[in-house]
Amino acid sequence: MVELKEREERLRFLLSKIDSEIEKFKKISGLVDGKRQALSTEITKKGLSEVPLEIRPHSGEEQGLTEEITKHLLELNKMKNYLSSKLELVIKEEELLEELKKKHGDNVELLKTPAGEFEIVYTDSETDDAYNKLKASRKLVSDLKVSMKDIIKENE
């Protein structure tokens, strides 16, 4: 359960970072659009027809700043959607484990698989007893197979 809480906290932290970046770049996008609009207004005030207007950074980038900001916002939103879905899954896992613990106590635990998924493990005295009986029976079967081979060899 602790591991799930830690994952939830990390995901929430990452989501908050992404949200702040999204807000920051929405504001920047608004500023850039405002500059474009101001330039367009100046052009039309001079009696000229509107012309394509592109704002570029001083670094000489080929692509306009508006397009770059839009791409960046899309990438941030994709990351937010992905992390949100992972957070939702972690919350469901927490709720499931909590519910199972209420019904079955400490007999239930959640184990993380190497693939990053999880599995529920249930163990109690009855399952331990069943496993011990299974081991004993396997040993018996192994011994019976040896005896069967001996009997078959004697009859040949």
Do 32 and 65 meet the contact criterion of CB atoms below 8 Å apart? yes
- Whether the pLDDT of residue 118 is over 80: the answer is no
Q: Look up residue 40 and give its two tokens.
A: 């367009």
Separation of alpha carbons 57 and 35, rounded Å: 13
Return the pLDDT at 114: 79
Average pLDDT, stretch 15-24?
Answer: 97
- Give the phi and the psi of residue 41 in degrees, each rounded to 5: -65, -40
Domain ranges of the chain: 2-94
Return the pLDDT at 48: 85
Mean per-residue pLDDT over the chain, rounded: 88
Q: What is the 3-state secondary structure (H, E, C) of the chain?
A: CHHHHHHHHHHHHHHHHHHHHHHHHHHHHHHHHHHHHHHHHHHHHCCCCCCCCCCCCCCCCCCCHHHHHHHHHHHHHHHHHHHHHHHHHHHHHHHHHHHHHHHHHHHEEEEECCCCCEEEEECCHHHHHHHHHHHHHHHHHHHHHHHHHHHHHHHC
Per-residue burial over 5-17, b if 16 or more Cβ lie within 10 Å, else e, is eebbeebeeebee
Average pLDDT, stretch 88-100?
Answer: 89
Query: Confidence band (pLDDT; 50, 70, 90) for 136?
Result: very high
